[in-house]
Amino acid sequence: MTDSRARSPHTARKLASLAAALTIAVAACSGSSATTAPSVASAAPSSAASAAPSAAASAAPSAAASASAAASTAAIPSPEAGTFKMGTEPWLGYGPWWIAKEKDFFGKEGVTTTVTNFDADDQINAALVSGQIVGANIATHTALRLISSGTPITIVLLLDQSNAADAMVAGPSVATVADLKGKKVAYEEGTTSDILLRYALSQNSLTIDDITKVPTPAAQVSNVLAKVDAGVTYEPYLTTILAMPGSYKEIYKASALPGLIGDVFVVRNDYLAAHPGQIYGLLRAWGDSVDYYNANTTDGQAIIEKAIGADAGSLKTGFDGVTIYDLKAAKDLMTGGGYGKTLAMVKQIATDAGIITSPIDETKVVDSSYITALVP
């Protein structure tokens, strides 16, 4: 995707002013290297609990609560017939889907699933828009951009947050982001790399107009670094670059603003309405996979590395730079209030960057009912 829209001269100041707000907004959404998050307290006690609490009521759930839980479980439909066509990319945060495929967690949960790997954002986006696939794993800002442009999709699961797995790299001639004025930078436009680059520039009193853009797919940045001054990409490509001759180093990471780079699972609205049982099954398969990853990390990482074409054990640093959410963590974040603020801030940054060009109400893009039904 080529971004031909000129930036406003005030964009850098706008991005900078959002930093503190986004940092606060994502505090609840910033996971550690673990895949779980602290519980979010219920917004209000149930009417039964607040009426006349007793020792017996405190010791065990009420009959009404038990009946409600049973009804909720009973209301979850079985997966419908048909194949769920999912799109993904070689990003570590999407790895649990490859574990689900390898360990047949899709089959365990009763959902026939195909997983197609795309090499670039524009490819997976086009497949989703056209209906070639019905669900995709994409960056938060990408989901917002597609929805704002009329693509009928909904976020049903928060997948991960990048801390140090998205970064800007440079050779010996560039020491800091401030040194990039007038320099050539390779990155994939309209992607997380674009978001990270623009934010990094804004924090150093620069704009995108202060550099020479070299549009390059994230997977190909390593191939052009010898001809440019810096590049922006993500794992597993960062690990490859840092091992290359040329003394390349990271000069800026996504951890500078936790929550700026995150990923979600989206489903086309028509398919979502017709196949709710499949969505429940897919979310359970994700949960099964993350649980397996946590209990068998070495094997889980080996499965993911094989799926994205990396050598076993070669991406340890990359895995350390991303937080993958289990179902409870995702549910707590999606329903805890902080995620809504994160969406608003990401929308604003992407809008100021010219990536989102149409109005969008970010409060209506997430459906947390599926994960809420699955996770107590």
Tens digits of residue pLDDT in 228-281: 999 999 999 999 999 999 999 999 999 888 788 999 999 999 999 999 999 999
pLDDT at 74: 54
Contact 200, 255 (CB under 8 A): no
Q: Which amino acid is present at 99?
A: I
Q: How confident is the model at residue 33 (pLDDT cuts 50, 70, 90)?
A: very low
Q: How confident is the model at residue 338 (pLDDT cuts 50, 70, 90)?
A: confident
Regarding pTM above 0.85, the answer is no
pLDDT at 121: 87
pLDDT at 208: 94
Q: Best-predicted range by mean pLDDT among 17-21, 42-46, 100-104? A: 100-104
Query: What number is the average pLDDT over the span 5-20?
Result: 35
Q: Evaluate if residue 284 carries a pLDDT over 50.
A: yes
- Report the chain's mean pLDDT, rounded to a whole number: 83
pLDDT at 207: 93
Q: How confident is the model at residue 73 (pLDDT cuts 50, 70, 90)?
A: low
pLDDT at 119: 87
User: What share of the chain has pLDDT > 90, as a percent?
Assistant: 68
Q: Evaluate if residue 84 carries a pLDDT over 60.
A: yes
Task: Give all domains of the chain, ordered by start, each with its CATH number.
Answer: 11-28+78-162+260-374 (3.40.190.10), 166-256 (3.40.190.10)
pLDDT at 92: 92
Q: How confident is the model at residue 4 (pLDDT cuts 50, 70, 90)?
A: very low
What does the pLDDT look like over 189-231, one tens digit per residue?
A: 988 999 999 999 999 999 999 999 999 999 999 999 999 999 9
Q: Evaluate if residue 118 carries a pLDDT over 90.
A: yes
pLDDT at 259: 81
Q: Evaluate if residue 286 carries a pLDDT over 90.
A: yes
pLDDT at 13: 31
What does the pLDDT look like over 39-48, one tens digit per residue?
A: 222 223 233 3
Q: Evaluate if residue 158 carries a pLDDT over 80.
A: yes
pLDDT at 364: 94
